[in-house]
Amino acid sequence: MLWVAAAVVLAARVVVSVLTPQNGQVMVDFQVYRGADLAWFESGGLYTFQGPTGLPFTYPPFAAILLAPFAVIGQWPGIILFFAAEFACFAALVRFTFNRAAARFGEALPGWSPGLMAVVFSVTAPAQTNFNLGQVSVMVIAASVTPFIAKDAYRNGVLCGFATAVKLLPGVFVLLAWLARRRKAAIGAAVAFFGAFTLGVLLVPGGSYEYWSDLVFEDRYQGSNPGFNTSLMGVLTRAGMEQGTVRMAWVLLGMALGAAVFAMAALLMRRGQTLAAICAVGALSVLLAPVSWPHHQFWLVMAAFVGVAAAARRQWIYTIAVLVLMTIPFQAIPALSGSGLGQVLGNIALWPIVESRFLLACCVAVVIPAHLCLKLRTQPAPETANSPQT
């Protein structure tokens, strides 16, 4: 029944989107996917399409190929099928998180526990935003973790490779799989990516050239409201830095963060801390993406169930705090009115609250892995550290 409750919560979010359309559009991002595919069918103009809200199609051509069935069958059947696909991936992600979080208890948990986790996940901002907008993010994130679900095998990397061909950022998990000595899954993902790339070139030759030669390097969201963008680039922009300075800082900080996070995540993976490692790399992708909207931030919800403390009370405090941050939109707090020193001090005081999800992403990517790695240094490596969790 708890799984049904989670489905009802998310279906209700879709109903709200239907009853309160934005500029006449139900599930805005889904309509962009569908409209771009229809434009591709009619005139080949996959990247010239813009929806009523002005949003373009920003994914590689392979994404349009995968999403084409939702355009072919019509709007309402497409919405129903898309919801079913989203919920299936949402459920798989919950089960993945539960299995790895429950492993540290060393005993069987009540059968309703995964359903309760699904209900908790369903009310968080990433889940609500995914289903409200009709986003593919939850599908991409679910596919990204497949190299780590079972024994190392080529086939386990295929979905991650396809996800990389849809949104590019899942490629960080191909690198993590390689560093974690899941070489077959990493190779399978690489082969799948190049296969998807080739299919895009064959079926959408003009769009492929346009995307890979130009659009992949272009920030097509310049001028968008950055209020909920928790990426490093978004935070630096809100700090008032000039664009050139922002990009330079982003590159330098990104290289340093990437090296540190991957080194820690690889160690955590080899020592059986799968969920912590995956969440760290996921949080890194949130920080380093040009834009990171709430629907990209499932990794931060999953991180609520990473074991950070041996004491149950401290663990519960951490878990509840993370879930509160990922449910309540603190980013929507308006700027203080007035001027002078009072406003400056007020804004400084509010900054950690308004940017709370950015700070959480930093903790999940750097602070928590560092804490766990320091603990592991004092513990002998278990003989089963390299055995996968199923």
- Distance between CA atoms of residues 161 and 13, nearest Å: 30
**What is residue 213's three-state secondary structure?**
helix
Contact predicate 200/65, CB 8 Å: yes
> Over pLDDT 70: what percentage of the chain?
88
User: Helix H segments across 180-292?
Assistant: 183-203, 205-213, 232-238, 243-270, 274-288
Phi, psi of 56 (to 5 degrees): -90, 170
Q: What is the pLDDT of residue 348?
A: 66
Tell me which of 110 and 166 has the higher pLDDT.
Answer: 166
Q: What is the pLDDT of residue 337?
A: 43
Q: What is the pLDDT of residue 342?
A: 47
Q: What is the pLDDT of residue 347?
A: 62
Is 154's pLDDT higher than 90?
yes
Contact predicate 173/204, CB 8 Å: no
Predicted TM-score (pTM) of this structure: 0.90
What digits encode the pLDDT tens for the residues 293-346? 999 999 999 999 999 988 888 999 999 999 999 998 876 666 544 444 444 445
Listed residue (168, 187, 169, 167) closest to 178, CA to CA: 187
Q: What is the pLDDT of residue 384?
A: 47
> Which segment, 222-236, 324-338, 370-384, is predicted with the most confidence on average?
370-384
Q: What is the pLDDT of residue 239?
A: 78
Q: What is the pLDDT of residue 381?
A: 62
Q: What is the pLDDT of residue 343?
A: 47
- Distance between CA atoms of residues 99 and 95, nearest Å: 6
Question: Tokens standing for 264?
Answer: 């820690």
Contact predicate 39/45, CB 8 Å: yes
Q: What is the pLDDT of residue 194?
A: 97
What digits encode the pLDDT tens for the residues 266-294? 999 999 899 999 999 999 999 999 888 99
Residue with tokens 């609250």: 353
> Over pLDDT 90: what percentage of the chain?
62
What digits encode the pLDDT tens for the residues 26-46? 788 999 999 999 999 988 789
**Phi/psi-derived region of residue 180, left when phi > 0, alpha when psi is between -120 and 50, beta in every other case:** alpha
Q: What is the pLDDT of residue 336?
A: 45
> Which segment, 19-23, 103-107, 111-115, 385-389, is predicted with the most confidence on average?
111-115
Question: Tokens standing for 121?
Answer: 């996940």
Q: What is the pLDDT of residue 390?
A: 38
Give me the mean pLDDT over the 198-227 stretch: 79
Of the listed ranges 12-26, 50-64, 123-137, the least confidently predicted one is 12-26
Give me the mean pLDDT over the 104-132 stretch: 86
Q: What is the pLDDT of residue 338?
A: 44
Going from N- to C-terminal start, the domains of the chain cover: 226-390
Is 110's pLDDT higher than 90?
no
- What are the C-alpha distances in Å from 48 to residues 166, 206, 213, 220? 18, 12, 15, 12
Is 23's pLDDT higher than 70?
no
Give me the mean pLDDT over the 109-121 stretch: 89
